[in-house]
Chains A and B, each alone.
Chain A
Amino acid sequence: MSRGWSRAKLGDVCRVVPGFAFKSSDWTDHGIPVVKIKNIRGDSSVDLTEVDCVPESLLTPKLQKFVLKDGDILVAMTGATAGKVGKLRAQRPVLLNQRVAKIEPVGAHPEFVWAIVSTEECQRTFFHLADGAAQPNMSGSQIEGVEVPLPPLPIQRRIGSILSAYDDLIDNNTRRITILEEMARALYREWFVHFRFPASAQATAGRPGHEQVKLVDSPLGKIPEGWEVVSFVEVADVLSGGTPSTKVSEYWDGSIPFFTPRDATYLFYVGETEKSITELGLENCSSQLYSKDTVFITARGTVGKVVMPPVAMAMNQSCYALRGNAGIDQLYVFLLTLDQVDYLKRNTGGATFDTIVVETFRRMRVVRPSIQLISDFAALVRPAFEFTQALAAKNTNLRATRDLLLPKLISGEIDVSALDIAAQEATA
């Protein structure tokens, strides 16, 4: 061990503060967001896109110690992600629910503490604390008892500073992806829901803008003249998926990503798939190899998540693949489907759980604009879609680099004491 390094109990440098036991009657859709177990995603993030809230009135001085701020380190103490940690990114105050704990650094550099607890090894140690029961469970004091390496404070700072640049850039990239997606959705709604589309950029092409087109009656209300109300299946083909036999090992762990609803996140493009299959597996299942930008919609269990593969993928039978027909661009099909998700969710059937069936798509009426308008739209938004993919790829790379550096830095294998690193001081 390098000079000045020691080992310490996590409890010597941190306090573990478990969350508050809110009553089930407290939950609402609006108010102060509360971090629950489900928000700890297991990928070092705390995902607040689908968050439960409690009313503002509940925030009494008694609850102050459960108010979280940006950068707080959280750990799941139970359930499927037990032992997983996440770093909170929040612009506004957020509360902490029971069975999630805050790891509050005391006397150690916060970024260094984050580095330590976010290692695979440390998260595995946490998980083993809870071992042995059907429902894994751990306590704050168990976490405080975990042993960790502890370099001198200036070294902690340097290590924290090197690693936090990765965290910050990953967060920055994710926010940019979200913004680009929101821009694309806003433009879709502007053109195809509010019917405010401009004339084509090339004057010679002669496609008129909305000022030159009058609105006419249709079964779906007023629509621009020349547009049609059609069944969704006239816009896109609805194709199915399938799973090769799980008993044949030659079918699995190949080079073809295999999408299942579990892989869907809240982002447009699927990041990584948990499973993959071989060429042989693909031949022996009812899924095709779906090219980049095919629209995947989850149809059983978790219904109505709409995503696209950034590379060719196969998918299982819990999803449908949508491919625009007659030259209708995939990006348009994607945003159209996303816009129709509420309709699809309301019109599910199925005995034991919600399902969307092909008939659901057949019955769904949509407004179809001219192919020229769709192409113009797709050309306009395509760079934004490409940019989100580039940013996502960058994040994969950054995570890999961070994971490569992390163990070597906190073990002292890479000596940072002589490097020119702009070290951050502890931030209160």
Chain B
Amino acid sequence: MSGNHSDVEKRLWDAADELRANSKLKSSEYSVPVLGLIFLRYADQKFSEMEKTLAAASTGRRKIGKTDYQAKGVLYLPEPARFSTLLRLTEGDNIGKAINDAMKAIEEENEDLKGVLPRTYTSLENATLVELLKLLASIPMDIEGDAFGRIYEYFLGKFAMSEGQKGGEFFTPTAIVKLIVEVIEPFHGRIYDPACGSGGMFVQSARFVENHKKNPSAEIMVYGQEKTAETVRLCKMNLAVHGLSGDIREANSYYEDLHHAPGRFDFLMANPPFNVDRVNKERIKDDKDRFPFGMPSVDNGNYLWIQLFYSSLNDTGRAGFVMANSAADARGSELGIRKQLIQSHAGDVIIAIGSNFFYTVTLPCTLWFLDKGKQAPPPSLSGRGSGVRAPDTVLFLDARHIYRQIDRAHRDFTPEQIEFLANIVRLYRGEKPEITNGSNALVAEKFPELRYADVAGLCKVATLKDIENQGWSLNPGRYVGVAPGDAVSDEDFKERLEVLNEELESLNDQARGLEEAIAHNVAEILNA
């Protein structure tokens, strides 16, 4: 079943990519129009289904209209915006203009989408558009579930990969998003992402709720901020394709807080840009609500984001976010902020992820999880002995050696691996492990008693005292140690090389920042 899905996605992508190659368009000029057409095709599919349902239920006394569709949560498509209308056009027609008009017509009928849909179709050749329309029309009607959502996400990811560095800004690899969702378990409530990009975090949250047999639109409300207007549009389309509605605003989260975030959210998920410099701290240094631990003295935005995330949570809120590795060991004023954060008892779980998970950078990363309501589990919760979580513990997980190699430069997690990692967290919390994705064998191998235990090289529960002894480091490598094993196994060499490579990548990254600072300072001195 899922195999079929990925076949469809891959076939569509290959065909669409070939069209692009023949058209000599740049990937960045092509991606938004194609995503717009996928959106249109999806909307049309929903509209057609609803059309049949409404016709069957109709008593014929009253004409079925726009409000009937909207009442059922379906986008109303006027005739010029119907996919079938567009398909009837020939190469002699001005197809670009026709699609622009279709997009315009949809926006006019649907207030939520105002200014969201692309209108740049006249810059694509007629022949390319005809082929694209045909291609998208070929998506089989009988595929189940959230097929369009998957296709949209697949295309987003592929475009991110082909657009190079820039693409990484709006796309977090699905495997990482899924792991974050599994750990914070956003069942119900308000979810916030102040660096929401194309909305991958929201889509996965909704899927998580669905997998637990609940209706996402009734259970969760999503709120986002994103600084690039174009990405805000991609995000809104993404939500619409997944049948979700949310409040996504265009804003720069360092300076703007359009959602009045402090203390408001049940869940927070984010993948902020790493190591951003030149944030104007003068503008925000007095905002103690959003930055309760003060300004870092170094020119790096990481600890601004961390505080934004922390302060957005309500008293029982949970956060999961992606962080640069360097933040876990950062010294000086950043250490001071980290110490306050750890002493607030909000630190819950830290997971080290290996390199090559992101499409456009090889950099490894660390996932940080906060839980303001962190408590020891009640003793009888699971019936098999509780977890070991306490207000002053943090679970460190080293997942750098857990991955699936996709191609030479890219890795992800299998569903089984994601479930396994999340299950370690569940055991730590004294919850029952989930076994719907086949992680039973892995869990049984490492935790034969189905009870949390420290495993060298994999996981370790540290107390605040332990963390203080490590100079307030949140680097999992410092706590979990290395797995015992053969002195010279094949894996040892690879592991060693990997560890070295990760360190090298972090240093390369850090060096770029220093080089820029030096260049800037020298320019200032020379111009003075």
Contact = CB atoms under 8 A, between A and B. Distances in A.
Contact of B500 (A169, A186, A424): A186
B89 interface: no
Contacts of A166: 518
Nearest to B519: A165
A175 interface: yes
Interface in B424-450: none
> Which of A91, A189, A420, A422 has the most chain B CB atoms inside 10 A of its CB?
A422
A172 B507 contact: yes
A169 B297 contact: no
Contact of B504 (A70, A180, A418, A427): A180
B78 interface: no
Interface in A272-287: none
A161 B500 CA distance: 29
Given A172-B511, A179-B500, A425 B297 contact: yes
Given A168-B514, A427-B331, 6 more contacts: A169-B515, A180-B504, A183-B497, A183-B501, A419-B525, A422-B278
Given A172-B507, A172-B514, A179-B507, A421 B493 contact: no
Interface of A: 70-71, 91, 161-162, 165-166, 168-169, 172-173, 175-176, 179-180, 182-183, 186-187, 189-190, 194, 196, 398, 401, 405, 414-416, 418-422, 424-428
A419 B524 contact: yes
A165 B511 contact: no
B490 interface: yes
A179 B490 CA distance: 20
23 contacts: A165-B518, A165-B521, A169-B514, A169-B518, A172-B514, A175-B503, A176-B511, A179-B500, A183-B497, A183-B500, A183-B501, A183-B504, A186-B493, A194-B493, A414-B525, A419-B524, A420-B520, A420-B524, A424-B297, A425-B333, A426-B297, A427-B297, A428-B336
B517 A422 contact: yes
B504 A176 contact: yes
Contacts of A190: 493
A414 B501 CA distance: 40
Contacts of A165: 514, 517-518, 521
B510 A414 contact: no
B61 interface: no
B21 interface: no
B511 A421 contact: no
B298 interface: yes
B274 to A, nearest CB: 16
B528 interface: yes
Nearest to A166: B518
Contact of B331 (A70, A187, A405, A418): A70
Contacts of B140: none
Contact of B496 (A186, A398, A415): A186
B488 interface: yes
Given A182-B500, A415-B528, A196 B490 contact: yes
B316 interface: no
B508 interface: yes
B92 interface: no
A428 B299 CA distance: 17
> Which of B277, B329, B507, B521 has the most chain A CB atoms inside 10 A of its CB?
B521
B332 interface: yes
Q: Name the 9 nearest CB pairs between A and B, nearest first.
A: A427-B332, A425-B297, A422-B299, A169-B514, A419-B524, A190-B493, A165-B517, A424-B297, A179-B504
A153 to B, nearest CB: 13
Contacts of B525: 162, 405, 414, 416, 419
Contacts of B521: 161-162, 165, 419, 421
Given A169-B518, A172-B507, A176-B507, A414 B528 contact: yes
A418 to B, nearest CB: 7
B524 A421 contact: yes
A91 B525 CA distance: 33
Contacts of A426: 297
A194 B488 CA distance: 8
A110 to B, nearest CB: 10
Contacts of A71: 331
Given A165-B518, A196-B490, A176 B508 contact: yes
B487 to A, nearest CB: 10
Contact of B503 (A173, A179, A428): A179
Contacts of B299: 422
B194 to A, nearest CB: 23
Nearest to A176: B507
A43 B329 CA distance: 27
Contacts of B488: 194
Contacts of A169: 511, 514-515, 518
B473 to A, nearest CB: 9
A193 B94 CA distance: 69
Nearest to A408: B525
A172 B509 CA distance: 10
B333 A427 contact: yes
A241 to B, nearest CB: 34
Contacts of A183: 497, 500-501, 504
Nearest to A169: B514
Nearest to A421: B521
B493 A196 contact: yes
Interface in B260-309: 277-278, 297-299
Contacts of A176: 504, 507-508, 511
Contacts of A194: 488, 493
